[in-house]
Amino acid sequence: MAVSIKSEREIELMRESCRLLGIVHKELEDKIRPGMTTHEIDVMGDTLIRKLGCIPNFKNYNGYPASVCVSVNDEVVHGIPSRKRYLQEGDIVSLDAGLIYKGYHSDAARTHGVGEISAEAKKLIEVTRQSFFEGIKMAKAGNYLYDISNAIDAYVSQFGYGIVRELVGHGIGTSLHEDPQIPNFAQRRKGLKLQAGMTLAIEPMINMGRADVLWCDDDWTVVSQDGSLSAHYENTVLITEGEPEILTLY
């Protein structure tokens, strides 16, 4: 499938979809407390998305049963919210959510600390977040897709963390997942040439230990194989001739 270039009208719809998702993430962040269940987070996210007049795009996506992916500690992504899973002080929790506004998808993820967390956990979350910003320094028309991948890898590798390879970023628009795939680790080739009007979900997933991951028996939850903490940071970004626009920031 070819990479779609959005028209000015489509870009406006993407901007609004992403702006609303930024609000959802902000509200969820403000509500995280020790003692709440991961299911409660999903209910809050689902309710808010619908209150904003949008549709949660993860719900029933390939059978995924919730509207917010909630991944705790060694869970990398796609954790399934549960009424039995209580957040505890010191946990880290990754929230991944998306929505559809007038047919246009947005997608973003953040990792938060629950109450006070260790200095090591804080550093993992901050390096993961910063790796996104290092990546998008390269995200402008005329550069190549894998300039982004290489920049993320070069930054993260200094810290000795494991960059997850099995899951990647992606184009986004009238579908949640469009071409191209965007690896977060170094590539030998250049990849396609970036053009203004591309909208990309860039989403480094970083393990404190080794990069290897496993799929759990629920067929969704991805965990680090060595049990180390994992963080995720994702925004939907618009490529322009100049600086990229980060559409899902609050």
Q: Which is nearer to ligand MF3, 154 or 214 (CB)?
A: 214
Please report whether residue 101 would count as binding ligand MF3 according to CB under 6 A: no
Please report whether residue 178 would count as binding ligand MF3 according to CB under 6 A: no
Mark 60-99 with x for binding to ligand MF3 (rule: CB under 6 A) and - for no binding: -xx-x----x--------x-----------------x---
Question: Which helix (H) or strand (E) is 72 found in, with range?
Answer: strand 68-72
Task: Report H helices in the chain.
Answer: 8-31, 38-51, 119-136, 145-157
Question: Which helix (H) or strand (E) is 77 found in, with range?
Answer: strand 75-77
Residues in 106-135 that interact with ligand MF3 by CB under 6 A? 107
* Contact (CB, 8 A) for 203 and 184: yes
Please report whether residue 232 would count as binding ligand MF3 according to CB under 6 A: no
Cα atoms in the Cβ-side hemisphere of radius 13 Å centred on 191: 24
Q: Which is nearer to Co ion, 90 or 94 (CB)?
A: 94
Please report whether residue 107 would count as binding Co ion according to CB under 5 A: yes
* Contact (CB, 8 A) for 54 and 103: no
Closest residue to ligand MF3: CB criterion: 58
11's tokens = 């870009």
How large is the C-alpha radius of gyration of the chain? 17
Please report whether residue 105 would count as binding ligand MF3 according to CB under 6 A: no
Selected binder of Co ion within 24, 87, 151, 201 (CB under 5 A):
201
Chain residues binding ligand MF3 by CB under 6 A are 58, 61-62, 64, 69, 78, 96, 107, 170, 201
